[in-house]
Amino acid sequence: MLNSKLLQTVNSSHHGSSSSSVFLLNKSSFLSSPSHHGSSSSIPLRPWSIYGRKISGGRLKTMSNNIRASAEISTTTSTEKFVKVKGIVTTRLTIAGALSHLGLNRALDDLTDLAKRTLLIELVSSELDPKSGEEKEPIKDFAQWIGQQGEQVSYECEFEVPEDFGEIGAVLVENQHHKEMFLKDIVFNGFPNGPLHINCESWVHSKFNNRDKRIFFSNKSYLPSETPVGLQKLREIELARLRGDGQGERNQYERIYDYDVYNDLGNPDKTDELARPVLGGPDHPYPRRCRTGRPPTKKDPRSESLSNDFYVPRDEAFSEVKQLTFQFKTLDSVLGALIPQIETRLVDENQGFPYFTAIDSLYNEGIHMKKVAKEGWFNKGLLPRLVKAVANEANELLLFETPELLDRDKFAWLKDEEFSRQTLAGLNPCSIQLVKDWPLKSELDPEIYAPQDSLITTELVERQIRGIMTVQEAMKKKRLFKLDYHDLFLPYVNKVRELPGTTLYGSRTLFFLDEDGTLKPIAIELTRPRNGDKPYWREVFTPSRCNATSCWLWKLAKAHVTSHDSGYHQLYSHWLRTHCATEPYIIAANRRLSGMHPIYRLLFPHFRYTMEINALARQKLINAAGIIESAFSPGKYSIDMSSAIYGKEWRFDQEALPADLIRRGLAVEDPTADHGLKLIIEDYPYANDGLVLYDALKEWVSFYVNHYYPKLEDVESDTELQAWWTEVRTKGHEDKKDEPWWPVLKNQDDLIGILTTIMWVTSGQHAAVNFGQYHYAGYIPNRPTTARTNMPVEDPTDEEYKSFLTRPESTLLDCFPTQVQATTVMAVLDVLSNHSPDEEYIGGELEPAWAEDPQIKAAFERFQGDLKKLEGIIDGRNADFNLKNRAGAGVVPYELLKPYSEHGVTGMGVPNSISI
């Protein structure tokens, strides 16, 4: 069991010490001096007889038994020797805290500072007492304020550490203030082997909220079996605290990680129309999110009530200073202040764009709005870049930046070549698939939906490719590809069509790979299923260069398919595959991997701020009547559909880029090829650049894993690691826990594959589907997010069809999103595509724990070098006009996987983590 004194000092508040002169009796329980070579924080150990500490200048020091003694008293005849150590504690000033820190609490905290008792710092030895066999009692001192520089506030503490105390393995911190503090780091000077640096980067709660002291381990990483004996119980205590007991509603200052289903997306208490199914369980499989413990709604006990603040564990939230520069608050401003202004300014929410010039005016004339009230974040330097002040103080101008696509080629969106190119190098390059079976066929019940055989026939395809080859030859040569949203969307068509102002089809789009490496669209099939007595309807549309009617129908069919791709991209490629699927990895890591575990420290940069941005998504983006439901296909059934796609398509073993390419038929294994893969489409920018990044990640992970797990049995015997992976599968992705495809975790290769997959998803995969959003979808005709009207040949009235023939441009504009929908989406995507000034890019910063080990540091520097090479490779490819999918007149170069970027909407840059 843990030493009762240490357990008390960890779990209970320090109750203050007397400042009177008190003698300490001799206490003999010391270690003989072991070797300390190779450790920057070890201490030469020599016998010493008294725990008394002397501080120059007569300053009082804290005794190990919580009693202070004056400096004069420590001049004894003791033979015990000690090392004088000075600690500098750096905290980060919090803006909101400074504004709210008023009244009685402020006065009390000022007195705490004056009494030099702001922070209680306790040093914990890595060793046990050799006589008692228990943990050594920590050495303590209060840190007092010594100054402020910019946003950083420093505190100082001093210790007299017995030379036989052993290596400092952890620090306990108690915040005496009534408000939380953001603790950056602690540096101890005075040890013979140089400074001891402990990286914290964490909020420390007030002892008045929680009497447990915070535990910070040294930067040295340890597997569970290698944990120094003096830290083993402390390691267990910290993990137990982070897991919590699964009871009650969570408080904002807590750091508890637990699982729950997605039962907080609806708001049934407000109206029945806002009720939503619970996602997570047999009927609606879904990953799990962080438990908040809020009470149930009144109308539906299965649903959780809403609040203004969605709990995330305290260290997952952005620091307040970071919020001032980070796009999170800008996004909150757009959702909370700008969009209501748009809705007020554009009075008719159902009004579309009357002319294409009205869309163009958003970039050169803008929308005049009333100036937003001065209160709140919106006017504190967080205005999105698209809001401009105008001379009249009563107004502001919503003026959109011209998207990169439109700036390079105003007519690109009309071209079939660009429609195809974007399936390989656009916003959603993750859906294109090789056609592996012919004819195309549905797997849905024909009695309920429609006939299974597609109307895209062999004769039609061979006519469209003009006799270049037969379908059989095209299949053999792997020249046919598809976007297939037929079976995924068809079950929702009738339900979506009951919603006002929108429609839906099941769709298939077929492409042919030309000799120049580009795709050419051949046909689009749109299907409406049976609905009661109403029969199914379906039709195939093809490109036409000589028939005006067919040409306009083709444009309309492309608009429908693009809206399907937009919905799939946001719901699955973006939200579910990256944001949503990652949250269970984070929860499990914090519950099962100690902060001193090397794998936790490897993953940590890839988990920063994801839970916070996901919480915002649950509040404003994927919630009932949120942005996705309001402006994307398939409306209020969006998140329900994402559950269906997750159940049908998501597999962890296919989330790694190579496995995903093989699954979609875009690559085959080839040991002689670069990256061990041969791409079926050689000029596939997402895959070309992604594989270089993926391999660089894998090489970095491989060295790291083999460094910490040199023996074959090390991985399987790591209890924390095994518990983490078990919990990811059985709790985080509980609805798929029994699937046979989950990777086993028995050796180094298993671990390397799992870690590389997670790190790829959180960095490269997210960057590829996120930071090009404004470039491509900032111009609504290129990427409409929803389709509002049916095809004019689907059961038209005479008047509707005549209107189409008379002015087909109006029919296309009516199909596009409304002005409110379009401008809302454009404003949100502008923020989501934006890098903050303090973005944390992949390979950017050396983590403090990695710097502790020269070999790990060297490996990371090699990784940084590989990423620099990738930048040059991408620049070279974008300058090669033989690569027509990424270079050419008016073509947007593919830069989404360039590792680094300036801040702003740049269409490049790969952050470590999913933080926007």
pLDDT in tens, 479-537: 999 999 999 999 999 999 999 999 999 999 999 999 999 999 999 999 999 999 999 99
Residue 539, pLDDT > 80, answer: yes
**Angle at the Cα of 281 (from 278 to 286), degrees rounded to 5?**
75
- 387-421 confidence digits (pLDDT tens): 665 545 556 777 899 999 999 999 999 999 999 99
Pick 57 or 877 by higher pLDDT. 877
Is the bond preceding 671 in cis, omega lying within 30 degrees of 0? Answer: no
- Residue that is written with structure tokens 């559909």 in the block: 641
Rg (CA), the chain: 31
480-485/433-434 β-pairing: antiparallel
- Nearest partner of 380 among 325, 328, 340, 335, judged by Cα: 325
Is residue 569 part of the annotated active site? The answer reads no
* Cα 52–chain centre separation: 50
Q: Which is catalytic among the residues 210, 688, 770, 782?
A: 770
Q: Residue 546 has what pLDDT?
A: 73
Cβ atoms 153, 106 nearer than 8 A: no
* Global confidence as pTM: 0.90
Supply angle C-alpha 62, 91, 841, rounded to 5. 140
Residue 456 bears catalytic tag: no
CB 633 within 8 A of CB 502: yes
pLDDT of residue 800: 93
One of 569, 597, 766, 835 is an active-site residue; which one? 766
Given a cut of 70, whether residue 76 has pLDDT beyond it is no
Statement: residue 587 has pLDDT above 80: yes
Is the preceding omega at residue 192 within 30 degrees of 0, hence cis? no
Locate CATH 3.10.450.60 in the chain.
Answer: 431-570+788-804
Instruction: Report the candidate in 186, 249, 179, 236 with the shortest Cα–Cα distance to residue 216.
Output: 186
Note if 916 is an active site residue.
yes
pLDDT score of 17 more than 50: no
Least confident of 107-121, 165-179, 357-371: 107-121
637: left (phi over 0), alpha (psi -120 to 50) or beta: alpha
pLDDT at 27 over 70: no
The yes-or-no verdict on residue 429 having pLDDT over 80 is: yes
Question: What percent of the chain has a predicted confidence (pLDDT) above 90?
Answer: 76
- pLDDT of residue 118 exceeding 90: no
> CA 689 to CA 371: how far, in whole Å?
44
Place of tokens 């007092």: 144
Identify the CATH number of the domain defined by range 431-570+788-804: 3.10.450.60
- Please tell me whether residue 853 adopts helix, strand or coil conformation: coil
Told to judge if 770 belongs to the known catalytic residues of this protein, a careful annotator would answer yes
Of all residues in the chain, the percent with pLDDT exceeding 70 is 83
Catalytic pick among 486, 569, 574, 675: 574
Domain span(s) for CATH 2.60.60.20 in the chain: 82-218
- Determine contact, residues 468/451, Cβ cutoff 8 Å: no
Tokens of 219: 């930067």
pLDDT digits (tens, 9 = 90+) for 731-750: 999 999 999 999 999 999 99
592-604: average pLDDT: 98
Does 15 qualify as catalytic in the annotation? no
Per-residue pLDDT, averaged over 703-709, amounts to 98
For 764-779, how does the pLDDT look when each residue is reduced to its tens digit (9 = 90+)? 999 999 999 999 999 9
Of the two residues 100 and 513, the one the predictor is more confident about is 513
Given a cut of 90, is residue 544 above it in pLDDT?
no
Please, are residues 34 and 45 in contact by the beta-carbon 8 Å criterion?
Answer: yes
Q: Does residue 314 surpass a pLDDT of 50?
A: yes
**Cα gap 520→464, rounded to integer Å:** 10
Is 498:486 a contact under the CB 8 Å cutoff? no
Q: What is the pLDDT of residue 847?
A: 95
Q: For residue 562, which amino acid is it?
A: T
Confidence of residue 380 (pLDDT cuts 50, 70, 90): very low
Round to whole Å and give the CA distance between 786 and 807: 21
Where residue 368 falls among pLDDT bands split at 50, 70, 90?
Answer: confident
Q: What pLDDT band is residue 5 in, cutting at 50, 70 and 90?
A: low
CATH of domain 82-218: 2.60.60.20
pLDDT of residue 23: 25
Amino acid code (one letter) for 800 = E
Q: Is 23 exposed, middle or buried (0-12, 13-18, 19+ CB in 10 A)?
A: exposed
Q: What pLDDT does 6 receive?
A: 55
Longest dimension (CA), the chain: 110
Q: Which of 14, 579, 733, 835 is catalytic?
A: 579
Q: Which has more confidence, 368 or 843?
A: 843
Amino acid identity at 365: E
Contact between 371 and 395 under an 8 Å Cβ cutoff? The reply is: yes
